[in-house]
Structure 1
Amino acid sequence: MTTEFTPLSAAIGGGLIGLACALLLVLFGKVAGISGLIKSLFNPFTKSSRWKLCFIAGLVLAGVCVQIFKPELLVGELNLSPSMIIIAGLLVGIGTSLANGCTSGHGVCGMSRFSARSWVSTCTFMAIAIITANLVG
C-alpha cells in the first residue's frame, strides 16, 4: 500500500493542533503535553485533574470517531505483533520519562515557547525517528 502525501490536510491538521495548544495555554495557562497529562492522572484525583481527564477523553474520542467514520485513515504498512507493540509503547514511555515530556509537549508547546530543553528533545526525537524509519522501512 502506498500512502499519498496530502499537504493541505496535513497543514490544516497541524494548524488545528497548534491552535488548540495555544488556546489551552493562553486561556487556561496549561501546556498540552500528553505524557505529562497521562502521568498526572495516576496521582490522586483532584479538582484540577478534571480538565486533564477531559482532554485525554477528547483524544480517545477523536480516535474512536476516526475508526467509525473513516477507518481507512488508520491503515498502516507495518504489521507488528502485539508483543512488539507493547515493547514499543514501553520504550516510548521510558523515553518520554527521560526527556521530561513527549513530542506534543516539547515539539509543539515547548519549541513555540523557545525552551532550549524542548529544542534539544525534539531534535533528538526526530533524529531517532529518522534512523528508525530507515532501519525498519
Structure 2
Amino acid sequence: MDQLIPWSSLFGGMLLGVAAVLLLLFTGKIAGISGIINGVVMPKSGETLWRVVFLVGMMIGGLVAIAYLGIDNPADSLTINSTNLWVYAIAGLLVGLGAYLGNGCTSGHGICGIGRLSKRSIVATVIFMAIAGITVFIRLHIL
C-alpha cells in the first residue's frame, strides 16, 4: 500500500483539477469548498441544488475510495475522546473563521485561483501554506 501513495496522490490531484475545470466550464462556478458550504448554509435563490449535489458527490467519492479502492479510512486512526473532541471543534471553527477572513480556502484559492493566475489567490495560498508549516513546526517541536 505504501508504494501506491505517490500515485494515489497524483491521481487524486488530477481528479481535483478535472472536477474544478468541469465545474467552471459547465456552470461558471469556482470549486471552493468553503464557498460551496457557505452557499448551502446561507442559500441564495437557485444556488443551492448544485452545491448540495457537489458536496454529496464529494462524500460518495470518499466512501467509494474507502470501500473499493483500498484507501485507508482516516477516521480509523483517530482516537476521539471528550478532550480532543473539543480540540477538533475549536480547530474546525478556527479553520472556518480563517476561510471566511481569507475569502476562501485552499481549494478555491489554491486549485482554482492559482489555476486562473489570480494574484490574490497566489498570495492567499502562500499565506495558508506558511501558517500550516508554522503550525506543524510548533505542534511537533515546541508542544
* Shared fold (TM-score, shorter chain, > 0.5): yes
8 Å contact kept, 2:106–2:128: yes
Structure 2 CA distance for aligned equivalents of residues 18 and 131 of structure 1 = 27
8 Å contact kept, 2:39–2:47: no
**Larger helix percent:** 2
1:111 aligns with 2:114: yes
Q: Using structure 2 for the length normalisation, give the TM-score.
A: 0.82
Paired position in structure 2 for 1:13: 12
Paired position in structure 1 for 2:136: 133
Percent identity reads: 41
Aligned residues: 135
**Superposition CA RMSD, Å:** 2.4
Paired position in structure 1 for 2:88: 85
Runs of 5+ consecutive residues of structure 1 not aligned to the other structure: none
In the TM superposition, residue 71 of structure 1 has moved relative to its aligned partner by 6.3
Runs of 5+ consecutive residues of structure 2 not aligned to the other structure: none
Residues 3-34 of structure 1: CA distance to partner in whole angstroms, max 9, x if unpaired? 77822221111011001101111122111011
CA separation of 1:61/1:44 partners in 2, compared to 1, >3 Å: closer, same or farther?
same
CA separation of 1:107/1:86 partners in 2, compared to 1, >3 Å: closer, same or farther?
same
Give the AA of the match of 1:10.
S
In the TM superposition, residue 104 of structure 1 has moved relative to its aligned partner by 0.2
